[in-house]
């Protein structure tokens, strides 16, 4: 399984991971604020179609490993930031999708889970990205966050976010043909 995101079309990227299960455990890391804050962001999700999604990011809290400063490209981002969305699909333990409303962009993220013995196959698809720069940034961001999720689920110290993100962003710039 390739850990790099796959470009589905000019506005859509998809990732796959095989994570330690069971599926209920992985689902809890998607929907429970305290657990999701360990790899992505905290915030409540109303688990019903049309439910509110509140996302509260604090990148510095994701790892205690030594990291680099915010890259110049992201210096304008606040240390903590929040945004919202709406649940578009909610099938507990199998599918969760929601809009991702950040600044003037409105994209959609879909998490699909399938049990495979003691592992869980996660497919994450992020759609409606409006620029090449967004696709590259989102791809390296999701790749980094999913690596941190894997670390958390496997009981390892999460890798440093920015150091990982910068390396991956350069790789995605070369890999994605946009």
Confidence band of 53 (pLDDT split at 50, 70, 90) = very high
Q: What is the sign of the dihedral through the CA atoms of 76, 80, 86 and 92? A: positive
The answer to whether the beta carbons of residues 111 and 96 sit under 8 Å apart is yes
Q: Which pLDDT score, from 0 to 100, does residue 178 have?
A: 59
The answer to whether the beta carbons of residues 101 and 85 sit under 8 Å apart is yes
Confidence band of 61 (pLDDT split at 50, 70, 90) = very high
Q: 6-175: which CATH topology?
A: Alpha-D-Glucose-1,6-Bisphosphate; Chain A, domain 4 (3.30.530)
23-31 and 132-153 are packed helices; what angle lies between their axes, rounded to 10 degrees?
A: 130
Q: How many CA atoms lie within 13 A of 42 on its CB side?
A: 10
Condensed to tens digits (0 to 9), the pLDDT of residues 5-24 reads 999 999 999 999 999 999 99
pTM higher than 0.85 for the full model? yes
């Amino acid at each position: 399984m390739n850990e790099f995101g796959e470009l589905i079309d000019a506005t859509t990227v998809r990732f796959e991971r095989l994570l330690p299960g069971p599926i209920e455990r992985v689902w809890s890391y998607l929907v429970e604020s305290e657990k999701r804050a360990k790899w992505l962001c905290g915030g409540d999700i109303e688990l019903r179609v049309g439910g509110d999604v509140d996302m509260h990011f604090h990148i510095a809290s994701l790892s205690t490993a030594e990291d680099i400063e915010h890259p110049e490209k992201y210096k304008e981002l606040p240390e903590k930031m929040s945004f919202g969305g709406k649940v578009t699909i909610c099938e507990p333990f199998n599918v969760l999708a929601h809009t991702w409303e950040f600044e003037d962009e409105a994209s959609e993220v879909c998490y699909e889970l399938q049990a495979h013995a003691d592992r869980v196959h996660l497919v994450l698809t992020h759609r409606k990205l409006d620029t090449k720069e967004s696709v590259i940034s989102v791809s390296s961001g999701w790749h980094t966050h999913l690596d941190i999720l894997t670390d958390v689920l496997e009981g390892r110290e999460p890798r440093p976010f920015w150091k990982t993100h910068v390396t991956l962003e350069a790789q995605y710039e070369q890999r994605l043909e946009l």
